[in-house]
Amino acid sequence: AQSVTQPDIHITVSEGASLELRCNYSYGATPYLFWYVQSPGQGLQLLLKYFSGDTLVQGIKGFEAEFKRSQSSFNLRKPSVHWSDAAEYFCAVGAHDRGSTLGRLYFGRGTQLTVWP
């Protein structure tokens, strides 16, 4: 079965520090991978996505993520965090259930990011 694991529930970093949010997935085929961000009281906003090709993808707000097939990972990174980056971050994999032609997004449980001034 498809699954997404975000091992860190809560991360705290200082403003200006670098950031890496971890994401591991379980899926038999080549996955479609996404990172979404959710600010308090808001819906989810797409940061970036990976479908194929270059394994390092660039997103909005200065974020990037690297797909590593050997590690089944799709970690999100930012070289210098801003206070406005404080939010909850969700990794998701787009996949088909076995025997189904329907695609569906499976979300991880999320990582809450706190930024210290």
Partner 1 sequence: EAGVAQSPRYKIIEKRQSVAFWCNPISGHATLYWYQQILGQGPKLLIQFQNNGVVDDSQLPKDRFSAERLKGVDSTLKIQPAKLEDSAVYLCASSLAKVRSSYNSPLHFGNGTRLTVT
Residue numbers at the binding site for partner 1 (CB under 8 A): 4, 32, 34, 36, 41-46, 49, 51, 90, 92, 94-95, 101-105, 107-110
User: CB-wise, 53 or 117, nearer to partner 1?
Assistant: 53
Nearest alpha carbon to residue 2 among 90, 72, 76:
72
Structure-token match 């206070």, residue found: 83
Shortest spacing between CB 49 and partner 1, in angstroms: 7
Residue 14 exposure: Cα atoms within 13 Å on the Cβ side: 2
Shortest spacing between CB 15 and partner 1, in angstroms: 26
User: CB-wise, 8 or 32, nearer to partner 1?
Assistant: 32
CA torsion through residues 11, 15, 20, 23, sign: positive
Shortest spacing between CB 98 and partner 1, in angstroms: 13
Distance from C-alpha of 8 to C-alpha of 52, rounded to nearest angstrom: 26
